[in-house]
Structure 1
Amino acid sequence: MPKTKNAYLRYLLIHSQIRRNQYKEGYPTIDDLWQYLYDEGYEVSYSTIEKDLCFLKNERGAPLIYDRRKKCYKYTEDWEFDVPLTPEAVRILQMTLHKLEIFSEAREFRMVNDAIEKLSDHFQIVRKYPDDRLNKYILFEYTKGFSGKEHLSRIYEAIYDKRTIMFTHCRFDTEDPTQRTLQPYILKEHRNRWYVIGKENDEARIFGLDRICDLAVTDNYFIQEPAFYDEIFNVLRDAVGVFAFGFDSEDVVLHFTPDEAPYIKTLPLHRSQQPVYENETGGYTVKLHVKVTAEFINDCILRFGDRVRVVSPQSLAEHVAGIWQCAIDSYNASRTV
């Protein structure tokens, strides 16, 4: 919404200046209000400011008067401008905050949480049941205690401030840790794991937060490149998961059994999913335009077992068949032991 149309933010700014009593005549003149709004990025006319002042007085009940001698606006008594939020809106904020508890260590999270508590007190919101708790009635998929949670808020702040981070990285497939210096661009979640995507030595790199330790946010600032942001989003757009850099996008056709079809139709595997064939007895065939990564194979093919078959490309069908054959060989070998 353009700032010139975001009236309630203007009301709050005007209200804050009338209460501050910091101007030459104690309270602000209309010139003072115009200058303050302009400094805050609101390019409005004097008539708009006068209408805003009338709104505060006539619609919100502000004890506002105009001092003709000093040509300034002031309140005759203490008054607070109420934010027009309904109890239902506050409940939605509480639900959203509950989902964002993974950022609970961030200063901004605590500030928002305190603000919502004040709103709840202001509206005297009483839950219908005394033992009502959000986490009793709404269960989110993420795990609160996942490894690496403690890094989220600091990496987010580093991204926001455009500051380089340093950390020790421990891969799961090796015991040798490495020291890393990264320009962080994006935090990405996939299957309850969080990753930071950024640039290291001018190359795109991805690190799982659960494999990071000794994190330090440095005082070295960097310039975020819009072209690299575009590259990240272009890669992830055709990806399932995170590790998709260096892969080409291609068409994949999958055929699902009739029992699995309703689930695939109501929750698509990927944003590119398009129906190819559907029959109540013959199953459901879809086409995807994706990067064929290990994450795609695991999440969109292997987890469905015998309820899915790769139609094309043939190379992918043979690769998946080879995976299943290895599994069969493993089971057969275990029987002979």
Structure 2
Amino acid sequence: MPVNKYALLRYRIIDRKIGSKYNPYPNKEDLRQACEDELYGSDEGKISLSTIEKDLFAMRNESNLGYYAPIVFHKANKGYYYSDPDYSIQEMPLNDDDLEAISFAANTLSQFRGLDMFKSSEAAIDKILDRFNLNPKNNESEVTSHIQFETAQSYKGGAYLPVILKAIKSNKVIKFEYQKFSGGKKQQYQLHPYLLKEYRNRWYVIGFNPDKDSVVVFGLDRVAGSIELTDFDFSRQAGFNPALYFEHSIGITAVNDDPQRIHLRFSPLSGKYIESQPLHQSQKIIRNDEVALEVELFLCVTKELIMTILSYGTDVEVKAPESLRKQIGQSLKNTLKLY
């Protein structure tokens, strides 16, 4: 008997929750809430505990699925775990029902490409559809011998997204330990979470830190252990606008400085790439001929902007402002000292 498409999607969510090292031992309510959040958003009451019980039974026992998942209930921690810590249904080959569920989900999303809320995800949706259309029978070796897709190792910190999103929606304070890349001891933080942002395969949470009395950014890949959703409510700062917070920034750094007119001159070849894929939404072309492409951007000077400019090497020249031109020049001089 074919498996319900939504059941297959729930199995994947349940598998991810039970296998999570960040939030181990989820109970039935945790699994129910995770499935409801991911499949239906804030529309509550769509999934019952009895549905989760049937899903757990199916994942353990049903031969047509072939999972035979080693799901065990831990009495002391009052939650579920895999007796084999390396087990995951993600490692199993997809069957026809899985492929049909993926196709169903991807094609459903594709119907909403034009909506504002999906614009940032259109590329991801298109990639899923491209992959499925090129490989409808899941013959991976046949496809990869002819086509290579760009891949990322993982989306760092993704396991924390459900609890943070729940805190954002309900205006609840979260608590966690954080280890900076620069070293030092782990520190405990409380945060009023406002926004989640993905940048270069890493997830970040932006929110108000009452200890610093300011809006700050935390990389989720530097969170140590779990994130606690507290019972304490918070009120958002009236001046914070998620749509505008990174309006004048490239990357994840937002500064209080005023944005500046950034004038860049690219070689003709690199200019073609910049023209076809702008560096920022504020980009305006002010010259485009056989000699050079010159663009103007309205941005704050951040570390990510500097790294982006430096990545083009001799194919780019900063024309203005003079302060940024000197900063890039000094970075290049420091680089030369290494060789």
- How does the TM-score come out when normalised to structure 1? 0.59
Counterpart-to-counterpart distance in 2, 1:256 and 1:108:
49
Aligned to 1:309: 317
Aligned residues of 1:235 and 1:245 also touching (Cα < 8 A): no
The answer to whether 1:182 aligns with 2:182 is no
1:213 is matched with which residue: 201, 221, 224? 224
SS at match of 2:281: coil
Distance (Å, rounded) in 1 between the aligned partners of 2:39 and 2:191: 28
Residue 130 (1) aligns with residue 137 (2):
yes
Q: SS at 1:237's partner residue?
A: coil
1:130 Cα shift?
Answer: 2.6
Shift of 1:226: 4.5
Q: How many residues align?
A: 225
When residues 174 and 189 of structure 1 are mapped into structure 2, their CA distance, relative to the original with a 3 A threshold, is same
C-alpha RMSD of matched pairs (Å)? 3.6
In the superposition, relative to structure 1, how do residues 164 and 263 fare at CA in structure 2: closer, same or farther (>3 Å)?
same
| CA drift at 1:273 | 0.3
SS in 2 for 1:158: helix
User: Using CA pairs below 8 Å that are at least 6 residues apart, which structure has the higher relative contact order?
Assistant: 2
Match of 1:159 among 157, 168, 191: 168
2:249 aligned to 236, 239, 242, which one? 239
What displacement does 1:295 show? 0.9
Q: Who is 1:27 aligned against?
A: none
Structure 2 contact 264–319 (Cα < 8 Å) conserved: yes
For structure 2, the 5+ residue unaligned runs are 18-33, 48-99, 106-131
Aligned with 1:254: secondary structure? Answer: strand
Alignment TM-score, normalising by the size of structure 2: 0.58
Q: Match for 2:297 among 288, 291, 299?
A: 288
Larger Rg: 1
Q: Which residue of 2 aligns with 1:321?
A: 329
Read off the aligned partner of 1:131 and give its amino acid letter. N
Query: Which one of the candidate residues 293, 297, 305 is aligned to 2:306?
Result: 297
Amino acid at match of 1:185: Y
Q: Deviations over 1:47-97 (max 9, x none)?
A: xxxxxxxxxxxxxxxxxxxxxxxxxxxxxxxxxxxxxxxxxxxx9x9xxx9
1:136-185 deviation per Cα after TM superposition (whole angstroms, max 9, x unaligned): 789465443x4322211211111112111000111111222111000000
Could you list the runs of 5+ residues in structure 1 that have no partner in the other structure?
1-90, 332-337
Which residue of structure 2 lines up, in the alignment, with residue 222 of structure 1?
Answer: 234
Percent pairwise identity = 29
Within 2, Cα distance between the matches of 1:168 and 1:227?
Answer: 27
SS of match in other structure, 2:231: strand
The residue matched to 2:246 in structure 1 has which SS? helix
Question: Which aligned pairs between 1:1-337 and structure 2 lie closer than 5 A?
Answer: 105=17, 106-108=34-36, 111=39, 117=101, 120=104, 129-131=136-138, 139=149, 142-144=152-154, 146-201=155-210, 202-214=213-225, 215-228=227-240, 230=241, 232-280=242-290, 282-299=291-308, 301-331=309-339
Could you tell me how far 1:132 is from its partner in structure 2? Answer: 5.9
- In structure 2, relative to structure 1, the CA distance for the partners of 1:213 and 1:289 (3 Å cut) is same
Alpha-carbon separation, structure 2, partners of 1:311 and 1:329: 24
CA contact 2:156–2:201 (8 Å) conserved in 1: no
Q: Matches of 2:284 and 2:262 in 1, distance apart?
A: 11
Q: 1:109 to 1:173 in 2, by over 3 A?
A: same
Q: Summarize the Cα distance change of 1:118–1:203 in structure 2 as closer, same or farther, 3 Å threshold.
A: closer
Distance 1:172 1:238 in 2: 25
Give the aligned partner of residue 97 of structure 2: none
**Equivalent position SS for 2:164:** helix
Query: Aligned partners of 2:35 and 2:322: how far apart in 1?
Result: 52
Q: 1:184 to 1:209 in 2, by over 3 A?
A: same
- Identify if the C-alpha distance between structure 1 residues 286 and 165 changes in structure 2 by more than 3 Å, giving closer, same or farther: same
